[in-house]
Structures are given as C-alpha cells and as structure tokens.
Amino acid sequence: MMTNHLALYQFCSVLRRKGALALCVALCMLGLGLFARAQKPTIVTFDAQGAGTGAGQGTTAIDINSLGVIVGYYLDANNVAHSFLRSPNGGITTFEVRAAGTGAYQGTFPESINLEGAVTGQYIDAGNVNHGFVRAADGRITTFDAPAPAAGTGAYQGTIPYANNLAGQVTGWTIDDNGVFHAFVRTP
C-alpha cells in the first residue's frame, strides 16, 4: 500500500512540474506575440550617391545578411553599374572590379553577401562577357572564370556567380559558346 501511495505522489509531482512548465511556455509565447504586435514595421528608402535619375536607372538592393548589411548596385546616368554596401547605420561604400566595362549595362553586379561580409557577383567587361568576382570583407577583390568549354568567351556568355557561403564556396552558372547553361561551384 505504501508503494502505491509513493508512486501516486511521484506521478502527481511529475504532472505538476510538466504543467508548470507548459504554463510557463504558454505565457512566454503570449508575451512574445504581444511584443511582436506592438512593433510597427518600418520601411527606409535610400539611394546611392551617383545613381542616375532616368527611367530604369537608380539604386537596387540585391541581398542582406543577418547583420543588416545590404549589397546592391546602382546604374548611373550612363547606365553603367556600380556596386555598393550599405551598413546597418546607413553608411554606403561603393566598389568596382577594375576590369569591368564602362559602357551601358556593363560594370559590377553583386549577387550575394555572407555573414562575414564577403560579396560575390559578376562583372561585365567591355566585350559584354560575364566574369565572376569575390570581394572579401577587407575589400580585396578576386576575379575568376569557370573553365571553357562550360564558360563561353563571347558576348553575353561567361561566368555568373549567384551565391556564396561562410566556407567561401561560390555557386552559379555559366553560359557556353552555344548559349547552353551549366552550373558550377567554386571552392576557395
């Protein structure tokens, strides 16, 4: 009889602890829900200095990392692309790949920023050929091309990086001499 009473007491004690835990979790979730509803979303617009003001020109944000750093590009008055980084406090830093073309719709186009601040993207040269780049958080830029025949060397062909990760890997696609697309991954 004593064993049954002790087992019942232990069972009730476990139920009370689990019930208290469930109540605590429910109250926390309710509190988080009220907090989330109390905040109003805000939208901040911005333009990079030098962005054109004609139709199709201006500033385009492309990606944001979890620290709030934004990467994008702007088209100037001559439709040349220039890259930028926008810090969470609103400061804007521009950057270029030196080999990028300076004609209309040429220039530097970022696609992705990782948590460490490394950016990957493409630049289009004076012959309208696509090439890849990685910009390290310290500003150093490394350019690269996927090997032929996967990456063509004619106009509107080449290497187009799309995303990068914390391990330094870059993925994207290439366009060959016949206009066929191929995927690639680049390791550091």
User: What pLDDT digit, counting tens, does each position of 122-133 carry?
Assistant: 999 999 999 999
pLDDT digits (tens, 9 = 90+) for 80-100: 999 999 999 999 999 999 999
Q: How far is the C-alpha of 79 from the C-alpha of 67, rounded, in Å?
A: 30
Q: CA-CA distance, 113 to 111, in Å (whole number)?
A: 7
Map out the domains of the chain as residue ranges.
Answer: 1-42, 58-186
Residues of the chain with pLDDT under 70: 1-38
What's the confidence (pLDDT) of residue 31?
Answer: 56
Per-residue model confidence (pLDDT) at position 6: 44
What pTM value is reported for the model?
Answer: 0.79
HSE (side-chain half, CA atoms, 13 Å) at 28: 6
List the CATH code of the domain at 58-186: 2.130.10.150
